[in-house]
Amino acid sequence: MAMKTMVLAVGMLVAMQSSGAQQQQVAATPRPAPTPGVIASHPDWPKANPEDVKSPEAIIQALSDTISGEVGKPRDWNRFKSLFVPGSGRMIIVRHSKTGPADLTILSTDDYQARAGNQTFYEKPIAYEKQSFGHLTHVYESYAIFHTPTDTTPQARGVNSWELLNDGTRYWVVQIYWDTERPDNPIPAALAK
């Protein structure tokens, strides 16, 4: 019986040592590096002017300045892209119909660039409503579109819905989603200043 107890004790000791060695091997295996975020994984993305991205109002004004211009006049597309989250920033247009449901057109920054230079327009912000939580900022911004920079009567107005990321050093456009003013869709009073 003493021999059985001794064999059992030695067996348990060997099993515990073997288990401990396995645990040490698992603990010694290095963990893989975390997957870089979308911003960190695009080091060659155009760098923004710090003044353009210091606040929600600044980034909205910078984008309005960048997309505005004459037909055939080159826009500063590097400045435009520098405002957006790399590779995933979106511009979403609400398409409305008098006879059917509304729909969307979703554009990447490259898609927008390809179609933007074929019309003359100047976009100017009118008013803002802003809410932030942590790194998230949502802005409703009313805008007016003019045919020339000196026009006083807009040819169109609407509301942009901005989703912005504040990474702690600057703001980034995640997406812009907009709809135009129509007789059955007036700009809300708080944004119609």
Of 33-37, 96-100, 150-154, 155-159, which gets the smallest average pLDDT? 33-37
pLDDT of residue 99: 83
Q: Which helix (H) or strand (E) is 80 found in, with range?
A: helix 77-82
Give backbone dihedrals phi and psi of 17, rounded to 5 degrees, phi first: -65, -40
pLDDT digits over 67-113, tens only?
Answer: 999 888 889 999 999 999 998 789 888 888 888 888 999 999 989 88
pLDDT of residue 35: 73
| 160 burial type by CB count under 10 A (0-12 exposed, 13-18 middle, 19+ buried) | buried
DSSP secondary structure string, 10-64?
Answer: HHHHHHHHHHHHHHHHHHHSPPPPPPPPTTTT-TTSPPPPGGGGSSHHHHHHHHH
The CA distances from residue 24 to 10, 13, 18, 89, 143, in Å, are: 21, 16, 10, 45, 62
| 172-181: average pLDDT | 95
**b (16+ CB within 10 A) / e for 88-104:** ebbbebbeeeeeeeeee
Tell me the pairing of strands 90-95 and 156-166.
unpaired
Dig out the tokens for 29 from the structure: 């295996």
Whether residue 17 has pLDDT greater than 70: no
The rounded Cα 20 to chain-centroid distance in angstroms is 48
CA distance 176 to 178: 7
Is pTM beyond 0.85? Reply is: no
